[in-house]
Every structure is written in C-alpha cells, then in structure tokens.
Structure 1
Amino acid sequence: MEIVIVTGLSGAGKTAALNVLEDEGYLSIDNLPTPLIRDLVELMEETPEINKIALALDQRGRVFKRELYKTIKDLKDDYGAKVLFLNATDNELIKRFKEKRRLHPMSPGGTIVEGIRKERELMDRVMDLSIPIDTTNLTLGELKNIIHSLVLNDKNEISVIFKTFGFKNGIVADADLVFDVRFITNPYYVSELKLKSGYNPDCYNFVLAQNESGEFIEKVHDLLKFLIPLYENEGKEQLIVAFGCTGGRQRSVSVARRLAELLKDSGINITIINRDLDEAHND
C-alpha cells in the first residue's frame, strides 16, 4: 500500500497538494487525529480496492501535537510512507493569510507572525523526516509537476528540479547546487533581445552561441550525470539545481532549458521552475 503524508506549515499549500493526489486516485484524508491513523491504515490494508492513501497531517489538532512526529516516523519506517513538507517564507505566509483574512490556527488570539513562529518550532523535527517543497514562488501547475515527479514516479527515481532565478531578487533558498551564469554575455543589452526571455528562439540561440556557454553546459552536463546516480544511491529523493543570472529571465533560463534537453537524452527527466519569469512573458 502506498502512503503519502502531506505536512508542513499552515498556508503553505497542503490542501492544494492533497487535491493533486486525490486527482491521481489517492484516498485523501485531511487532519485526522493522530491516535486514529494507525487504525485507519490497518483497516485500509484489509480493503484491497484501496491501495493508495494521502494523509494531510499538521499541528492544528494541538491536543495530539506530541504524537505527530512519532506517527509520521512510524508510518515512514513501517510502510515506507513518503513525507512531503510544504513550506514558504514568512512574508509569503503572512501575505496569504491576509489575502484570505484568516487567523493563524496556532495563534487565534495573537498575530500571524507569532503563529508562524510557534508552528515552525513545533514542526522542526517533522521537517527532518520529510522531502521539503518551498511553495513561495510556485504556481499550482508547478506544484503539481513537483508532486508528480516525487510521488507518481513509477521508477522511484530521484526527482531533479532546475530552478532559474535572478540574483537581484535573492538566491534560491532550497537549492542543493547553485550555478552562477552571469559570465555569459547578457542579451539584455542587445536592443532587439532586451525584452525577450530564454524561451524566445532568438534569445536562446544568442546565449547558446557563445563558446563559454557551450563549454559550461558540457561540463555541468557531465557533472550532473556523475552526481545524480550517486545522490540516488544515497537515498536522496529530490535534487534542486539552481541557475542564476541578473534578472532570472534570459541566461539562466536558456542554460537550464538546454541542460534539461541533454539530460533527457540521457534518460534523466527534469522539472524546470522559473522563479522570476512571468508566465505571461515567456517569449
């Protein structure tokens, strides 16, 4: 039986993640008290038509907060459950709560900031058991792609994610490897390419036509082909590789796209997330 546990911080997107799994045929259950979970799993084992369960677990049921870590660890140890921990920056969580005019469940009589702080402290140990997913800049479609690569991967391969970003907006916080491609001549200063992104053929070809780009891509391609199987052998479930340029729209996007194409030819599928590229301006 497959068990996926969706946990993390309030406002980080657990409900959306659970909905993705439900759409894929998982029996989805939200916020079941932890003392009842073991009984539920044992019951499901006796129900052959149900072989995939997704459980959303968090600290909202604070009466059982001490049992949350143990419950998740037991499900992981005994059933091989995959644990997804959805997270986001404090500023993003505050914005989401304010937009929805909601009180934070960990601080109903206090501030949103205090609620986030309390929840981070309580969930710290749970994060150590989990695959982290930072939803700060993710669209729903990108979240769905990540969950597919992590959970719905029939070969149980490592999930490799390329994130492009602009240094002017800060580095990618959850990256395992970061490559700075600002050494490549910037197409932004070519008048006809200034407003184009790395998805525009002219911009893409300009970036890749440079000798330095080709040599860099070749070396990183060889490095990743070497590293990915090693990470996989060590049990790593997700590898996030970030590529940064100044604005996160042209050089980093072009390089990530080309590397993803090459790795796909080597049998490694890549999910690309362009943090600082507006979907409406992908050309």
Structure 2
Amino acid sequence: MSLKIEIHSFSYKKGGIPKDTSGNGGGFAFDCRGILNPGRQPEYKELCGDDLGVQNFLETQTEMPQFFENVKNLTSITIQNYLDRDFDHLQVNFGCTGGQHRSVYSAIKFAEFVKEKFPAAEVSLWHDEQLHLN
C-alpha cells in the first residue's frame, strides 16, 4: 500500500475547504490570502497560478517563497511519518479568495515538491475552481 497525497487548490469565497472523502479526516488547509493577490494587478487578472507571469510575480513581489518554505517544512514531518507508519491518505489544501492565482500556484508547486522529495507517495492534484487545469 502506498501513501496517496491529494492536493487541492480552492476558493474560500466559492466553495470553502474541500471535504476529505477518504474517511480519515484531517490533513492540512493553508490559507494563501495573506500573500499579495496577483489578481489585483490588471495584467494578471485573467490569468491563473499556472501562468508564468503569475508565478514570477508571486516568487519575486510577495512573501510566497517564505510562506511556501514553511509549508514544505511543516508538511514534510507528517508525510515522512505517514510513509513510515504505512498510512494510505493525506489531503493538503491551498485556499485563496477566488481559487485562481495563489492557491493554484501553491498546489502546483507543492505537488512538484512532493513528487521530488517523496517519490514513494502517489500524488493527485485538483484545482477545484479551475476545472480546465485538472
């Protein structure tokens, strides 16, 4: 059995924190609303967290790098523990106001991080407000 890590980006305004359907409950929900919103800039308003311009903005004009480093440090403890104890599920959620910029960016980058650092884990990525990205 392998650890399945389900990663969601979501909107606090539209749907709220995704329900954990595994039956385990728990997991992580990170609030990205404390990071400057690229959607407030006209050139990024129609874009999404998977667009390079938005990613560059978040990485160079906000505290996202520090926020994300803390997320990685905190979740790594649990992921390694779950792998060692043969747990089968962990849900990690990233929310922002509209589920378009900050949360999508965070979910994508977190999935990349987990795949690299914990190759034994299975990763699924869901953008609850951006269905075209799934």
Q: TM-score, normalised by structure 1?
A: 0.42
Distance 1:251 1:165 in 2: 10
Match of residue 220 from structure 1: 71
What are the equivalent positions in structure 2 for 1:87-98 lying under 5 Å apart?
Answer: none
- 8 Å Cα contact 2:50/2:105 also seen in 1: yes
Question: How many correspondences in the alignment?
Answer: 125
Match of residue 6 from structure 2: 161
Deviations 1:143-179 (A, max 9, x none): xxxxxxxxxxxxx320111101000122212162100
Distance 2:116 2:86 in 1: 23
Q: Which has the larger radius of gyration?
A: 1
Match of residue 99 from structure 1: none
Deviation, 1:267, is 3.2
Higher relative contact order (CA 8 A, sep 6+): 2
Distance 1:176 1:263 in 2: 15
Distance 1:225 1:190 in 2: 33
Deviation, 1:218, is 0.9
Match of residue 270 from structure 1: 123
Distance 1:184 1:228 in 2: 25
Gaps of 5+ in 2: 21-25
Partner of 1:182, secondary structure, is helix
Deviations 1:202-249 (A, max 9, x none): 112212224521011111112222111212333321111000000111
Partner of 1:244, secondary structure, is strand
Gaps of 5+ in 1: 1-155
Distance 2:41 2:62 in 1: 18
Q: Quick one: percent identity of the two aligned structures?
A: 31
CA 199–180 in structure 1, closer or farther in 2 if over 3 Å, else same: same
One of 52, 59, 69 as aligned partner of 1:201: 52
Deviations 1:40-89 (A, max 9, x none): xxxxxxxxxxxxxxxxxxxxxxxxxxxxxxxxxxxxxxxxxxxxxxxxxx
What are the equivalent positions in structure 2 for 1:130-209 lying under 5 Å apart?
Answer: 156-169=1-14, 170-174=16-20, 176-209=27-60
CA root-mean-square deviation: 1.7
- 8 Å Cα contact 1:208/1:255 also seen in 2: no
One of 96, 105, 125 as aligned partner of 1:245: 96
- 8 Å Cα contact 2:35/2:62 also seen in 1: no
